Amino acid sequence: MKLTRLKSIKTAIKQVKCLRCGHKWFPKKPGFKAKTCPSCHSPYWDLPIKRKSTSIASKKNSTKFENSKAPTMQELVLKSIKKGNHLRKEIQKDLNVPVWNIDGAITKLRRNRIITVSGIGRYYEKK
């Protein structure tokens, strides 16, 4: 008797769904609006998520820096080596950056076999 009564009560109470996480539950009382979702605790559980539009018009209005790709430190170090700066201090003066930035880029370029180092510490582009 009790089970059928509970089923009929649950069908009378409309199930609600969180539009954020998708959790479904029955409210405590008919017509009762929960303050937050019991699963994700969002107070905006009954409002749909607003997504930013990625239309072509919004992309045209973007700044010129977003469209251009900034060169990486490896590219800058390789460019400096091609200019004729073969010592680490020469590369540092040319790029005006701390030595530790250059060391990481040089290590990656050496691992990828793009540059080679001579016995006296000069860096050359591998041919």
Q: What DSSP string runs through 78-98?
A: HHHHHHT--SHHHHHHHHT--
- pLDDT digit string (tens) for 53-69? 665 555 555 555 555 67
Domain contains 68: no
- pLDDT digit string (tens) for 69-79? 778 888 888 88
Count CB-CB contacts under 10 A for residue 68. Answer: 8
42 with 82, same domain: the answer is no
Helix (H, G, I), strand (E, B) or coil at 66: helix
- pLDDT digit string (tens) for 4-50? 555 555 556 789 999 988 999 988 888 788 899 999 999 999 988 88
Say how many domains are in the chain.
Answer: 2
Domain contains 9: yes
Are the C-beta atoms of 42 and 20 separated by less than 8 Å?
Answer: yes
42 with 79, same domain: the answer is no
Q: Provide the residue range defining the domain that includes 103.
A: 73-125
Domain contains 17: yes
* CATH at 88: 1.10.10
Domain contains 52: no
Helix (H, G, I), strand (E, B) or coil at 17: strand
Domain contains 63: no
Q: How confident is the model at residue 103 (pLDDT cuts 50, 70, 90)?
A: confident
